[in-house]
Structures are given as C-alpha cells and as structure tokens.
Amino acid sequence: MNLQRLFKIQAELDQAIIEKKGLHGQDLLADRILALLVELGECANEWRGFKFWSEDQEPRTYKFEDLYEMPVREWNPLLEEYVDCLHFLLSIGNSLMEKYKFQIEYEMPFKVLHSIPRQQFLTVFARVNDIDAMDFAGGYESQKYRNAYEALLKDFFGLGTTLRFSWEEVEAAYLQKNKINHERQANGY
C-alpha cells in the first residue's frame, strides 16, 4: 500500500469538499476526529466480536447478482467501514501535517499490539482520543503530534491486520470508495 499516494488522493477529496461547502479557513480537525470515532464504532459493529449477548458474532459478507456490472459480486461491510475509517484517518493526518508542520515520509510498519480485534479496536480509539486531547490542550511540539499520529497509523493498520485484510484489498476498496465520495460530492451529497 502506497501511503503517500493515499494521503495525496485524500487531500484532493478534502479540498473538493472544502471548496464545494465553502469551508475555507475553518479548522475541521475536531470534526474529522469525531467522524473517525463514529466510523470506528461502525467498523466495530460490523466486526460483531464484542457482542457477547448475540449468537452471531462473525462479520457478515454478502454475495449478490449485479446484472449491470458482473454476474456475482461480494460485499464486505466490515472492509467498507474500515476503509471509511481510513478516509478520515488520512484526512486527520493531512490536517495535522499542515497545522503542526511535520511530514510522514515513509511507509509505516504495521503494528499489532493485540491479536484480539477487540483490544486492537480499543487501542485505536485511545490513540484517536490522545490526538484530540493534545489538539484541544495545544502547546505541544510538532514532534509530539507526529509521534502520536504515527502511533495511531501503526495501530490502525495493525487493526486491519488483525481483521485479516490484505493491503491490496484495503487500497483497492479505498480507491473505489474515494471515487464514490467524489461522485457524491458532485451530486449534492
């Protein structure tokens, strides 16, 4: 997965949204952080493994016929939610890099702290909250923001590993969803 390419693609979508919605000059970091937390919750909901009260604790995938595109297509809601998270994660990274003047210039190694997805989800939630708390309090050196964001990236990609996604399928799903997001903006979403 080419992380630098994805940062650039996300910046293009973010810029299109800012222009279309007239959001120039607004600090959208807190909104992006909240959106990521919401999407992480939706991703956990699709994973289903924390639902101790349910007999059905496996992620769902669906196969359906799409007569216009191909005979049978598989839909993975868990991957779709993970990719929605990735959109906001990249957007947050672009915001932080611009606001606090640092760069992420290399491909991240993927860090799995926990082999249990529940624990990895909780770690990612905590990392997002760390960045929000730092931004709210302010006054930190640029390197601290970079370190916090890199830790979030590593743990988020570790979550993807724990959920057994290949980086090829994550990147392909991201690019497809990015295309849909551009279409939505063009059509008044």
Q: Which residue has the higher pLDDT, 85 or 116?
A: 85
Average pLDDT over residues 37-56: 96
Which range marks the domain in which residue 168 is found? 3-186
Please report, as a single letter, which amino acid is at residue 31: D
Q: What domain count does the chain have?
A: 1
Is the pLDDT at 72 greater than 60? The verdict is no
Is the pLDDT at 17 greater than 80? The verdict is yes
pLDDT digits (tens, 9 = 90+) for 147-159: 999 999 999 999 9
Identify the pLDDT of residue 63: 66
Percent of the chain scored above 70 by pLDDT?
A: 90
CATH of the domain at 51: 1.10.4010
The Cα 16–Cα 74 span in angstroms is 30
